[in-house]
A and B are shown apart, each in its own frame.
Chain A
Amino acid sequence: AQSVTQLDSHVSVSEGTPVLLRCNYSSSYSPSLFWYVQHPNKGLQLLLKYTSAATLVKGINGFEAEFKKSETSFHLTKPSAHMSDAAEYFCVVSTASPGGKLIFGQGTELSVKP
């Protein structure tokens, strides 16, 4: 069965400093992995996705993630945090079901201090 574990429930950074949100996955096959962002009282927005092409995936708003099979990790990074990045971030894996069922992690809340 597929699953994801987000290693930090809350991360706090200062504006202009790097962001690292950690995610480990478990999958019996080569997975599709995603990062979604959710701002307060809003729906989820796709940041980026990995689908077995390049292992370094670039997303929107300056975010990127690197797929490391040897470490079963898919960490999300950004070189310089902005106040508007404060939100909840979800690491997601797609199952092998025909409809592409998504399994969400518990989420990491990112706070950005001025």
Chain B
Amino acid sequence: EAEVAQSPRYKITEKSQAVAFWCDPISGHATLYWYRQILGQGPELLVQFQDESVVDDSQLPKDRFSAERLKGVDSTLKIQPAELGDSAMYLCASSPRGSRQARETQYFGPGTRLLVL
């Protein structure tokens, strides 16, 4: 069964350092999402791509966060500089083309657990 891949699974960094997370969606999925999940809360959308274009980045802290999906396949989320409050799980998800029902169903990767010291 196809899955969303993410790496690394865990990352420990010091504040003010740069970190990057990678996501490879399910093959053929047009839409890719990055979420941030703070401990004890539900995930919140950071950025959404449709192919290589950003559809929604209204919740992305653009002073320190950036995301790209250059060829419309895999994606990288970067934080520079990292702050203590960025400690969280970063989840990637993808959804297929097609009907609204198909596009609404998102498939999640295992996530990257970030700890900023």
Flag if A100 contacts B103 (CB, 8 Å): yes
CB distance B31 to A46 under 8 Å? no
Q: How many residue pairs at the A-B interface have CB separations less than 8 Å?
A: 62
Is there contact, CB below 8 Å, between B109 and A43? yes
Interface membership of B114, Cβ < 8 A: no
In the complex, which residues of chain B have a beta carbon less than 8 angstroms from the beta carbon of A45? Answer: 108
For residue A24, CB closer than 8 A to chain B, the reply is no
Task: Name the interface residues of A59-114: CB closer than 8 Å to any CB of B.
Answer: 90, 92, 94, 97-102, 104-107
A27 at the interface (CB under 8 A from B): no
Do B31 and A99 touch (CB < 8 A)?
A: yes
- B contact set with A: CB distance below 8 Å: 4, 6, 31, 40-45, 48, 50, 55-56, 91, 93, 95, 100-101, 103-111, 113
**Given known contacts A46-B106, A49-B105, what 4 new A-B pairs fall within 8 Å (CB)?**
A43-B4, A44-B93, A46-B107, A90-B43
Are B101 and A102 closer than 8 Å at their CB atoms? no
Interface contact A102-B109, CB-CB below 8 Å = no
Interface size, A (range)? 20 to 34
Contact between B110 and A43 (Cβ–Cβ < 8 Å)? yes
Chain B residues whose C-beta falls within 8 Å of the C-beta of A49 in the assembled complex: 104-105
Question: Do residues A97 and B104 form an inter-chain contact, with CB atoms below 8 A?
Answer: no
CA distance A92 to B40 in the complex (A): 16
State A45–B3 Cα separation when bound (angstroms): 11
In the complex, chain B residues whose CB is within 8 Å of the CB of A100:
31, 95, 100, 103-104, 106
Measured in the bound complex, the distance between the Cα atoms of B111 and A49 in whole Å is 22
Known: A101-B48, A102-B45, A104-B43. A44 touches B105 (CB 8 A): no
A44 x B91 contact (CB < 8 A): yes
Residues of A within 8 A of B109 (CB): 43
Shortest distance from the beta carbon of B64 to any chain A beta carbon, whole Å? 22
Q: Kindly list chain B residues whose C-beta atoms are within 8 Å of the C-beta of A99.
A: 31, 48, 50, 55-56, 103
